[in-house]
Structure 1
Amino acid sequence: MFIGRERELASLKEFYEKDGIGMTVIYGRRRIGKSTLITEFAKDKKTIFYTATKVGKNRNLELFSKQVVDLLMPGVENISFHTTEAVFDFIDKNIGDEKLVLVIDELPYWAERDEALLSILQKYIDTVWNDKNLKVILCGSALSFMQQKVLSEKSPLFGRRDSQIKLEAFNYLDAAKFVPEYSNEDKAICYGITGGVAKYLSMIDPRKSIDENIIRLFFRTDGYLYDETRNLLTQEFSDIAVVNNIVEQIASGENTLNTIAGKIGEKEQTILYSLDKLINVGLVEKKKCITEEKNKKKTQYVLKDYMFKFWYEFIPKATSVIEMGQGEIYYEKAVKPVLHSFMGSVFEEMCRYYTLMKGITGEYGCFITSVGTWWGVENIADKNGNIRAQSADIDVVALSDIDKRAVIGECKFKNEKIDKGIYETLIRRGSLITAKYKISKYIFFSLSGYTDWFETLSDENVLLLTLDSLYE
């Protein structure tokens, strides 16, 4: 069953319905669902669908040619083409009046070995195919290649595309559609362990409990996600040892360039080079303090893929036990008791998404256009009046630059209720960002609800939400 991607399908439908030559570009990290999206879009259309592989220029041409002939002249054998131009000419001569979709999936695998491919495509789109009803879809997982070689103004194809789609992971609401019968808590955990990545979500068996799925996928040697991080890193990187060490450090909470470099014992420039590549393949993101985005000192590197975060937090320590066939015991004793702690940062991200989604519609009395986190230092007075500085952060900061207003929030994915102290801390920390923005709402997000103290609170600027609120 195909789930979600309504906007992307609508975009592709609009692209297809316009007559004449057209080109669109679809890109995004591995396992995100690009091929599935294209397959769904093309299922009732006449389509040449070729997925390139790392087999070199000539073999890709040979395999592509076979796909072309099979569609345009089914049953005909022993037709071969010695150049890309020859097979493109064959398409031109045999396309007829019917609308045709031409998909080249994993384009970088072919184009990296055939430097002329993109220029030839540009020539045919501009001249030979310009009067044809042909819709070209170029797709790739190598984000840097797609951005620099296909989409940038230096690309031969620049200015030819009608549209582009950068496919991202599913948000927590769409991820929940894979497990509709789960409780909201288990839906959230399902989102947390998969990061909303389509391939990983498709591996969840909704007939089994969340615990059974986690054990089957991560804590067995034949589990799909047991070796997934190593497989992905091996496919993408040659300096696998350095990259693995970097991801390990980020997963453990080290998130600045100098601390990562110090822990690994490598030069900052070496680390920065690998970090840029990790960002390009969609595994790491550079996080900035939302009110000080130009402050380079307030930059943190975090794992964008929560499945990676889960894997690095639990699997390396469990490898020996898993390989002895005792992964289920390890999960029950060492992982399940701290699963809520792991979910803390996931829940914060879910709450930020929810706040932006509601804020765009003006629900908080202003037009919210961005959401993020804030961190810095606050000065605290003790009982004797002595001032001490301590680090401080705010989980959710949503800003309206138009109205100069802010919405701030605190998130707790714990089996304990939010109390008066957490309320007072958020109110106090809100004063640290009020110089630029007036705070419209203080929002609390709690898995387990609130203490009785909140029944005495009458403040219309305070919203008390639960996990269930996020799924309403």
Structure 2
Amino acid sequence: MASSVEKPAHVFGRDAEWAGLVSFVTRPLPHAMLGVVSGRRRMGKTYLLRALVEQQQGFYFAATAATAGESLRQFGAALAAHAGSPSPFSFATWDDAVTYLFGLATHGGPLLVVIDEFPYLAKTAPELPSLIQREIDRFQLEESSMRLLLCGSAMSVMGGLLASTAPLRGRAQLELIVRPFDYRASAQFWNVQDDPALAARLHAVLGGTPAYRRQFLADDAPGSVAEFDEWISRTVLSPLSPLFREARYLLAEETDIRDTALYHSVLAAVAGGNSTRGGIANYIGRKAVDISHPLNVLEDSHLLEHEEDLFRTGRAQYRITEPLINFYEAVMRPAWARLESGQGREVWAQSSERFSSQVAGPHFEAICREFMLGPGVALVDAPLGRVGRGVVSDTAGRRQIEIDVAITHFGNAGAGVALLGEAKWGRTMGVDHLDRLVRARDLLGGRGLDTGRCLLACFSGTGFTDALRAVEAERDDVLLVTLADMYA
């Protein structure tokens, strides 16, 4: 067993994930341990786990879409190769294979075993979780050095392994979800951290999925904002590019999604700004109760996020969490026939307004909230509560004031508001934007919420008027945040 626990240089980021995995593998317990690693495809799970296996001299098996018999033969062959056997092991059943595997860990140092794409095996051999449970339980009483990691990309399947009455419920010592890089890490990964305008555009289209740069685009990246239009035309919008159909594949790969047309319609509704349950149902021509299942499946698949309104109980909005899917639904799907015929440049030239309002704008709001959960938290002089968004009803003004970034807190005076913010991607912000926030703060204070320390924040991807800058210089409750601030 290798003693080193240092993360290999070729693994970008993932410091917290690496530390968690190493802690799991090297924990000095004389009993078998189980971990579950999940995450959508292209996140680099396999890349990370292979690096760990190589360093720890463990056993790695990647399942494929195959029959139970063929999968068992593949497992036996891989295990034999790991053991140095000149001929493959022949197991009659998965019961025999699992028993043999755990038997290897009854002596010596910790044995790391990674079974990747576990949902493929669980589909053809549904008894596997129960067999693993039996061995895990057995080796809580008997000594074992087994460190077993089950990994998979089917989020609903992996989430179900440890849920409710599942056999492995309560048996895992590690549950790790490998998520996309956040917007700041993505900028470093694409080497555009010194160009926030370009970094924000890239993240709005491709998000934090590492495979898109290296495996899909072979490091083809724009060097400046001036190159962005040409880059997106020859990559994402080109039928010759692997990214062209990627959004469709992401949806089709989820095992619980069968009627893809319905799910695309739901996502198109959200991408078009119909973010409430009623709005989505009305857009696709269904009753609200009829879309509960697809909404739940998309949430379980981590493709859709349900965000509660911080100021209106029982109200919520949905947001697409995968930027490439949002970009596809907003920009590509409406012009799919033209894109397939190679008119990517023409389609993109006509999509600037749609990209700004349906893709870049909402995405900018999301990363503003992410900023306040991260580096921006130091700007708030109050105990941090919830970070989200909401709507403040102005009855006298007969309007709804949308708050793009809201932070609540709980202090001695009860529930309060620490920050109200508005975010504009492609518009220079002025005093009128600040006035709306002042009105919202007054209304919330009138409802009994503590707004004594409430900051008023304007987030802009373009900039601010001189008048608004002057107000900021005079007041200590006004905060102006630029893209450069968010990427600093």
Shift of 1:170: 1.6
1:178: how far off? Answer: 1.7
Partner of 1:81: 91
Show the counterpart of 1:466.
482
Residue number among 161, 179, 185 corresponding to 1:168 in the alignment = 179
In the alignment, which residue of structure 1 is the partner of 2:368? 351
Counterpart in the other structure of 1:374: 390
Distance in 2, matches of 1:358 and 1:184, equals 16
Q: In structure 2, what is the equivalent of residue 393 of structure 1?
A: 402
Aligned residues: 457
Contact 1:356–1:369 (Cα < 8 Å) also in 2: no
Which residue identity is paired with 2:65?
A: K
Question: TM-score under structure 2 normalisation?
Answer: 0.87
Contact 2:102–2:146, Cα closer than 8 Å, also in 1: no
Q: Distance in 2 between matches of 1:159 and 1:401?
A: 33
CA distance in 2, matches of 1:15, 1:441: 42
Structure 2 Cα separation of the partners of residues 131 and 212 of structure 1: 60
2:454 to 440, 443, 447: 440
Instruction: Give the direction of change, closer, same or farther, for the CA distance of 1:239–1:320 in structure 2 (3 Å limit).
Output: closer
Alpha-carbon distance in 2 for matches of 1:47, 1:26 = 16
Task: Report the counterpart of residue 231 of structure 2 in structure 1.
Answer: 213
Q: Give the aligned residue type for 1:87.
A: A
AA of the residue aligned to 1:467: L
Shift of 1:128: 5.2
What is the alpha-carbon distance in structure 2 between the residues aligned to residue 338 and residue 220 of structure 1? 19
Q: Is the 8 A contact 1:419 1:450 kept in 2?
A: yes
CA RMSD in angstroms comes to: 2.3
**Deviation per CA, 1:192-217, whole angstroms, max 9, x where unpaired?**
10122333354453653433432233
Within 5 Å, which residues of 2 pair with 1:66-465?
66-74=77-85, 76-95=86-105, 96-127=107-138, 130-148=142-160, 150-181=161-192, 183-202=195-214, 203=216, 205=219, 207-209=221-223, 210-236=228-254, 237-292=257-312, 295-296=313-314, 298-331=315-348, 333-336=349-352, 339-341=355-357, 342-358=359-375, 360-361=377-378, 363-380=379-396, 388-402=397-411, 404-414=416-426, 416-434=427-445, 435-438=448-451, 439-457=453-471, 458-465=474-481
- CA offsets 1:142-193 (integer angstroms, 9 cap, x no match): 2232223x21241222222112112222211111112224611101111110
- What is the letter of the counterpart of residue 94 of structure 2? T
Once the two structures are TM-superposed, the CA of residue 394 in structure 1 deviates from its matched residue by: 0.6
Separation (CA, whole Å) in 1 of partners of 2:334 and 2:303: 21
Query: Equivalent residue for 1:385?
Result: none
Runs of 5+ unmatched residues, structure 1: 381-387
Letter in 2 for 1:426: L
Give the residue type in structure 2 aligned to 1:266. R
CA offsets per residue over residues 87-134 of structure 1, 9 Å max, x none? 234334545524321111222221132222111111222225852322
**Matching residue's letter, 2:344:** G
Q: Determine the C-alpha separation between the residues in 2 that align with 1:248 and 1:338.
A: 13
CA distance in 2: counterparts of 1:285 and 1:338, whole angstroms? 22
Q: Is the 8 A contact 1:359 1:367 kept in 2?
A: no
Distance 1:152 1:207, change over 3 A: closer
